[in-house]
Structure 1
Amino acid sequence: MNADWTGCKNILCIRPDNMGDVLMSSPAFRALKETFDCKITLLTSPAGAVIARLIPAVDEVITCHLPWVSHPAADDSITQLISILTSKNFDGAVVFTVYSQNPLPSAMIAYLAGIPNRLAWCRENPYHLLDCWMPDPEPYQLIRHQVKRDLDLVAAIGAYTADDHLALATDKNRWPAVAGRLTQMGLDLGKPWIIIHPGVSEEKREYPFYHWIVTGQNLIKELNTQLIITGSFEESQQAEKLRSFIGKSAFSVAGTLDLEELSLLISHAPLVISVNTITSHLAAAMGCPIVVLYALTNPQHLPWRASGIALTYPVTAVLRSRNEIVRQVGHWMPQIFMVSPDEILAAAKEILTRGFHGAVPELVPLQK
């Protein structure tokens, strides 16, 4: 690796994935910005762009449906995108990936846009597509948390930060309006309340609906608490159905909060109980304790630097990834059973009534 990044002042970060992926890459964005005192532009998906605007290190966002990333559509013009990138005169591009992703399509875009310095982890020899090639040791030699993977990547060009936590810039002045809407729904903010988040973007990470009903009813009965059910607009009908089954003291705000409002809600919550989706990473960023129901899709995306408890459960065989690298790692996952509502209740009690302050582990333990 011969490239010198010391003079780079206009860096493109490529992370065309979901919100949680972008948030986990944010400490690496911070490292680049602090080290090179540069402008950071993020090329990401429309979903990723929603959270990118709350990440302090990101100065500009470019959105595109790239055809090699899972999205509902992939109809943006790659030729037009390359023209846009060329016009911005970037002097460096960093491609961020999960170990099961191939970075070369994104590297090709940066190459065609004439960006002189291009950095990525890559299993294959990229030849001229990457002038800063970092041979990828994952997952066969080691597995790191995604945040560590991204920080190790930018460390290869001398970029570091003293603060590797997730963080979002939210407007605290918006909280009274959110609190007012909760009060109008009937929630008593003067009494105990917690958040539950059942919705997932992928079916394989779903926790059974019936278990959510029992969990909600147990939490209200045993902890004398109110429940706020969160979710996206697409998840609002399911959230309302769950609310109706749980009954009194449950309230759904699914589809009514934007991302910043949801982050503020989480920042005021004593506990979040969530599947492994963006809400679990928001809890980590906002410093809220969490019980994360973690489907074993991969071992490296647990909430980073979070306080709380992780309860893992298996993915149904028919829903497991067809990516061979992911499947190989799946063989190393522990053999476990579905998490029960009683286990969730016990974890919530541990945090709320016993003052548990332990940390969510960085990785799911593997057994090769």
Structure 2
Amino acid sequence: MKTEWHACRRILCIRPDNIGDLLMSTPAIKALKQTFDCHITVLVSSMGAAIVEEIPEIDAAIVCDVPWVQTNKTPTPTDFTDLVQRLKDEHFDAAVIFTVYSQNPMPSILLAYLAAIPLRLAYCRENPYHLLTHWVPDEEPYSFIRHQVIRDLELVVRVGAVIRDRQFSLQIRHQLWPAIADKLRAIGVDPDAPWIVLHPEVSEQKRKYSTEDWITIGKQIREANGCQLVVTGKSNQEEAQEMVNGIGDKAFNTAGLFNLAELIVLISRAALLLSVNTGTIHIASAVQTPVLVLYALTNPQHTPWCVPSKVLYFDVPVDLQSKNEIVRYVYQSFSREDLPLALPERVVETALTMLASRNTPSGSFQQPHTLP
């Protein structure tokens, strides 16, 4: 059945968060693109903007660090009014607002309303009345919790989008491999032998896993398997070097060595990604590299998607725990005794098992709530 959305030629997707958040929205963005044959613009943060060029379904991006999302800069009211005018000038037919259940969607909803975008779709707990033309009451997390991908897909289904593909959308620039291989050789890595990517870098301190435990894990994996260990990151050179020094033989520091497009290729060729819960696990999901996640007890719906994976959990220090009451509700509902903990010995055992089998089932919950 056709809806008014089938007449939309220009759709704005509002997702002003990080790389992983945007990647998890790509199946829904793909469904919009394929169903409505429309031009897709994304409103993204400066952090999320880094991945835009690697997502084929995105035609354009508006980069803005909005004041209701954590950012390193201090936005001004003028920035907001300028953004409203820019969105008006783009003459969008519709806006889709993607959120995590713990986020308040109202600022993004108001932005789309003030920009006079005719059709506006979002989840919201309270009735936004005229601010949205298509309101979906938000039942999460009190009635159920879905994977973020399912949450986003179920949103666009409400306006007639048809889902043909639930995989992440991310291009791999294979032509970059010769230059990447040269960089690896220059630091002693054999690009023709297997390697594991270790990614300790976090965007939030509450997700940080102990460097001492990283070293213990790296040593034991190397001793048991003999695989090369490539430590990655962007701004964590000191941490990466400390890990490499502690692990010793066959460990290599590549922090800051690769840009994002190169990192995607590197991960795509790895035997395994071992990472904290950050954007790299979603890159691994997109390129189908098995992933083992050391997952801080934060948002449980951001686990790997449709890829061989395992998830091991660790707690967040009390002083770093979220003050968001929705996040706290979910955190307090965890039965920690039922969760597999990210103890070094268990991490090593799980990693070795995954390396021995390419058929490890996904560790995320992927069953849809209402999707056909």
- TM-score bin, normalised by smaller chain: over 0.9
In 2, Cα distance between the equivalents of 1:314 and 1:185?
35
Partner of 1:343: 346
1:352 to 342, 351, 355: 355
Distance in 2, Cα, partners of 1:148 & 1:358? 18
Counting matched residue pairs gives 361
* Cα distance, 1:332 vs structure 2: 1.2
In the alignment, the residues of structure 2 paired with residue 207 and residue 344 of structure 1 have an alpha-carbon distance, to the nearest angstrom, of: 12
The amino acid that maps onto 1:80 is D
1:331 partner SS: helix
1:37-76 paired onto structure 2 within 5 Å? 37-75=37-75
Q: Which residue number corresponds to residue 12 of structure 2?
A: 12
Matched with 2:161 is 159
User: 1:354: Cα distance to partner?
Assistant: 4.2
**What's the offset of the Cα at 1:4?**
2.2
Q: Which amino acid aligns with 1:346?
A: E
Q: Which residue does the alignment assign to 1:176?
A: 178
Query: What residue in structure 2 maps to residue 271 of structure 1?
Result: 272
- Counterpart position of 1:261: 262
Partner amino acid for 1:220?
R
Q: What does the per-residue CA deviation read over 1:87-139, in whole Å, with 9 as the maximum and x for residues that have no partner?
A: 11000001110001111111111111110000000001111111111111111
What is the DSSP-based 3-state SS (H/G/I as helix, E as strand, rest coil) of the residue aligned with 1:318? helix
* Amino acid in the other structure paired with 1:68: W
Whether 2:241 is the aligned partner of 1:240: answer: yes
Residue 222 of structure 1 is matched in structure 2 by 224
Q: 1:361 aligns with which of 322, 340, 364?
A: 364
Larger displacement relative to structure 2 (296-305 or 351-360) = 351-360
> What is the CA–CA distance in structure 1 between the aligned matches of 2:125 and 2:280, rounded to whole Å?
31
Q: Distance in 2 between matches of 1:8 and 1:145?
A: 28
Once residues 348 and 65 of structure 1 are traced to their aligned partners in structure 2, the CA distance between those partners, rounded to angstroms, is 37
Q: Find the counterpart in structure 1 of residue 205 from structure 2.
A: 203
Q: Percent identity?
A: 47
What is the alpha-carbon distance in structure 2 between the residues aligned to residue 19 and residue 303 of structure 1? 14
What amino acid does structure 1 have at the position aligned with 2:145? I
Residue number in structure 1 paired with 2:370: none
Q: What pairs up with 1:103-142 in 2 under 5 angstroms?
A: 103-142=105-144
Partner residue of 2:309? 308
The question of whether the paired residues in 1 share the 8 Å contact of 2:217 and 2:344 is answered with yes
Structure 2 unpaired stretches of 5+: 367-372
Residue 312 of structure 2 aligns to a residue whose secondary structure is: strand
What letter is aligned with 1:286?
V
Distance in 1, matches of 2:322 and 2:94, equals 33
Give the match's secondary structure for 1:280: helix
| TM-score normalised according to structure 2 size | 0.94
More deviation in 237-246 or 278-287? 237-246
The one-letter amino acid of 1:46's match is S
Which residue identity is paired with 2:85?
S
- Specify the code of the residue in structure 1 equivalent to 2:349: A
CA positional deviation for 1:356: 4.2
Shift of 1:328: 0.6
Question: Please, which moves more after superposition, 23-32 or 338-347?
Answer: 338-347
DSSP-derived class of the 1:42 partner: strand
**Contact 1:229–1:254 (Cα < 8 Å) also in 2:** yes
Q: Which moved more, 1:137-146 or 1:70-79?
A: 70-79
Separation in structure 1 between the aligned mates of residue 358 and residue 106 of structure 2, nearest angstrom: 47
The code of the aligned residue for 2:4 comes to: D
- Please report how far the alpha carbon of residue 6 of structure 1 lies from its aligned counterpart in structure 2 after TM superposition: 1.6
1:80 pairs with one of 59, 79, 82 = 82
After TM superposition, what 4+ stretches of structure 1 lie above 6 angstroms from structure 2?
Answer: none
Structure 2 counterpart of 1:350, one-letter code: T
- In 2, the alpha carbon distance for the partners of 1:189 and 1:10 equals 44
Residue type at the aligned position of 2:121: L
| Cα-Cα RMSD | 1.5
Separation in 2 of the partners of 1:161 and 1:338?
Answer: 35
Once the two structures are TM-superposed, the CA of residue 320 in structure 1 deviates from its matched residue by 1.0
Give secondary structure in 2 for the equivalent of 1:46.
Answer: coil
Change (3 A) 1:338 1:317: farther
**What SS does structure 1 have at the residue aligned with 2:230?**
strand
In structure 2, what is the Cα distance between the partners aligned to 1:73 and 1:334?
37
The amino acid that maps onto 1:342 is E
